[in-house]
Chains A and B, each alone.
Chain A
Amino acid sequence: MKKRLPKIGFHFFCTIIYVFLLAPIVVVLMSSLTATDYIVFPPKGLTLRWYVELVNHPEFMQSFMLSVFVALGTSLISTAIGTLTSIAIVRHQFKGKTAIVQLVGSPLLIPSVVFGVALLQFYSWIGLAASPAALIIGHIILTIPFVMRLVVASLVGFDRSIEQAAMNLGAGKFRVFFQITLPIIKSGVIAGAIFSFITSFDDLTVALFIVSTDVVTLPVRIFTYMQYQYDPIITSVSSIMILLTIVLMIIIERVLGVGKVFASKNQ
């Protein structure tokens, strides 16, 4: 009995933290069902009226589509460029390698606010208007360090004799890359793609500087809306996003195995 008490205390503590982790998410999901005109928790009454109300707010759908487009573009380009760079860094010897490694990792050290201001100033000088492309470029910079980390990790442990074996059997350079190398480092590359999609989709700070009145990503839309309006429509939008994320995660888990994705992230 004496021994079990601390153990129970420990489990209790951990459970509280798990509750703490889920609390804001659960709160958002539940308050979206309120019948009141204002946000309240626990919800009063149960209704889906705030989901129906979304029909009157097509701007959220527009922003959602824009965010998905930007996130997809970012994820594709960032993963492609990140993989090429990782290959050069892991497998080639060249002057200035450390400088490039540091340059590519440095967006992690620069606060997004500063990068956002810098990008806004630069865009206005060169006359690049708010557009999906302008957003994608900014997000590529933000996500490349993560992609690089994941892909470099999967390349470092790579046994090059596997590639030699393929070459020995008659495969050319490109064939070796697409048939042997890429499938083997797949989990790192896919983890990088997922991570950059999420980062881009979630980004508020940089987008806040780049958006205009008709090019608004979803996080920016939600952020500005909740500063001026207090109706629960934000909770229904957020709930849909949370549910979409969960569905997406289940799909990824089914296709890839989340364990794998997170395992490589852990490195």
Chain B
Amino acid sequence: MSYLCLENLVKTFNKTEVVKKLNLEIKQGELVSFLGPSGCGKTTTLNMIAGFTEVDEGKIVVDGKPVHLLPPNKREMGMVFQNYALFPHMTVFDNVAYGLKLSKIGKSETQRRVLEALEMVRLSGYEKRYPKELSGGQQQRVSLARALVIKPKLLLLDEPLSNLDAKLRQEMREEIVEIQKNVGITTIFVTHDQEEALAISDRIAVMYEGRIEQADSPVSIYNHPKTDFVSRFIGEVNQIQGKVTEILGTHQSKLNFYGNEQIVAVNAMKNAEMDFFIRPENIQISLVETNDRNIGFKAKVERKMFLGAKTRYILKAQNKHLIADISNVVLNSNLIHEGSSVYAAWKPEHLLPSRNVR
């Protein structure tokens, strides 16, 4: 039974459809990220859920009740904004207490819950400060406390970490997940940072041009992308082509890559050219030819870049470039020089078939 239900949401701005018949169901207590490039409609969708943007068509149902016609102040959702949006003329205490005062909660109860919320975000003792006296991370925590203290039905986070520096960003995202799990609140997290989405989400909804391309667990999104956009957007990929040389049965074909043949689990037609994606970390290289069923082909190392734990090799085979990331534990990068010849290989199960019909 889903807790939040987005049904056929449509939003048009100036005759451009920004959100196109979007559907998504979210379970209670789940943390779902909306991930996509800027302009993909993720923030618009979030604003429709919060009520800041009117829904042109479709429905938003929370806990069995449609809410898309309610004004934002009647939706009982807690939102954390990218720029924190703290009330600059109120103290930290008053900021957090604002929502409670509006719902006419008694003074002592308000006091208790505000202090509790501030303790939860580790800001006890900051009650009397004004927002401008706090650091960015602290402001964001106040914003989180302010959103959670009203016990909202849904927690909405709009790129909450993008104004923080890299180190703080990692700390904060772990803190957010911890709080979210403790409170058990259903949460939507909008971000354009895929690493962030992969790290914290129960599920990721990858969005592109107003549609959800795939909504799945981080592992499935990464390993089994369902569309070309997801393949390209999440992680890095090499695009390669292979020619079908033999059909071995349903879902079993032999393909020729760079002059080597490999059996891949796809349906194909004989002599067809097929596109595949392969992630850089799934390419192996060695100095000697391998004999196993993974095809090995000759390639030249054009450049190598030391990246700490791994080394990135830019390979050239049959006039095409390939990127391979190899752990320095697996292969000592000192053994391979720019200009030297190597053998490259991959396992067929790592090939991500492209939907691009040629």
Chain A interfacial positions (CB closer than 8 Å to B): 159, 161-162, 164-172, 175, 180, 183-184, 186
B99 touches A161 (CB 8 A): no
Q: How far is the CA of A184 from the CA of B88 in the complex (A)?
A: 7
Q: Is B286 an interface residue (CB 8 A)?
A: no
Q: Which of B30-38, B77-85, B294-302 is near enough to bind chain A?
A: B77-85
Bits for B86-108, please: 1 = Cβ < 8 Å to A, else 0.
11110000000011001100000
- Pick the residue among B52, B82, B88, B143 that contacts A167 (CB under 8 A): B52
Contacts of A165 in B (CB 8 A): 79, 81, 85-87, 143, 146
Contacts of A186 in B (CB 8 A): 89
Q: Is B348 an interface residue (CB 8 A)?
A: no
B150 touches A169 (CB 8 A): yes
> Mind listing 12 A-B residue pairs with CB under 8 Å?
A159-B83, A161-B82, A162-B85, A164-B50, A165-B79, A166-B98, A167-B72, A168-B77, A168-B147, A170-B76, A170-B103, A184-B88
A169 touches B83 (CB 8 A): no
Q: Is B249 an interface residue (CB 8 A)?
A: no
Contacts of B75 in A (CB 8 A): 168
Q: Is B73 an interface residue (CB 8 A)?
A: yes
B73 touches A164 (CB 8 A): no
Q: Is B259 an interface residue (CB 8 A)?
A: no
A167 touches B150 (CB 8 A): no
A168 touches B102 (CB 8 A): no
B83 touches A170 (CB 8 A): no
Q: Please give 7 more A-B residue pairs, beta carbons under 8 A apart, in addition to A169-B78, A171-B102, A183-B89.
A: A165-B79, A165-B85, A165-B87, A165-B146, A167-B73, A169-B147, A172-B71
B99 shortest CB reach to chain A, Å = 3
Q: How far is the CA of A93 from the CA of B103 in the complex (A)?
A: 33
A87 shortest CB reach to chain B, Å = 18
Q: How many of chain B's residues touch chain A, expressed as a range? A: 20 to 34
Q: Is the interface of A mostly helix, strand, loop or mixed?
A: helix
A219 shortest CB reach to chain B, Å = 37
Contacts of A159 in B (CB 8 A): 83, 85
Contacts of B50 in A (CB 8 A): 164, 168
Q: How far is the CA of A172 from the CA of B102 in the complex (A)?
A: 9
Contacts of B143 in A (CB 8 A): 165
Contacts of A166 in B (CB 8 A): 87, 98
B292 shortest CB reach to chain A, Å = 57
Contacts of B86 in A (CB 8 A): 162, 165
Contacts of B82 in A (CB 8 A): 161
B77 (CB) vs chain A CBs: closest residue? A168
Contacts of B76 in A (CB 8 A): 170
Q: How far is the CA of A170 from the CA of B72 in the complex (A)?
A: 7
A172 touches B89 (CB 8 A): no
Q: Assuming the A-B contacts A164-B50, A165-B79, A165-B81, are A170 and B87 also in contact, with contact meaning beta carbons closer than 8 angstroms in the complex?
A: no
A165 (CB) vs chain B CBs: closest residue? B85
Q: How far is the CA of A184 from the CA of B86 in the complex (A)?
A: 11
Q: How far is the CA of A197 from the CA of B189 in the complex (A)?
A: 50
A41 shortest CB reach to chain B, Å = 49
B73 touches A168 (CB 8 A): yes
A95 shortest CB reach to chain B, Å = 16
B71 touches A161 (CB 8 A): no
B81 touches A175 (CB 8 A): no
A161 touches B102 (CB 8 A): no
B73 touches A162 (CB 8 A): no
A184 touches B98 (CB 8 A): no
Give B6-60 interface residues, CB cut-off 8 Å to A: 50-52
B70 shortest CB reach to chain A, Å = 11
A170 touches B102 (CB 8 A): yes
A169 touches B89 (CB 8 A): no
Max count, chain A CB within 10 A of own CB: residue among B50, B86, B87: B87
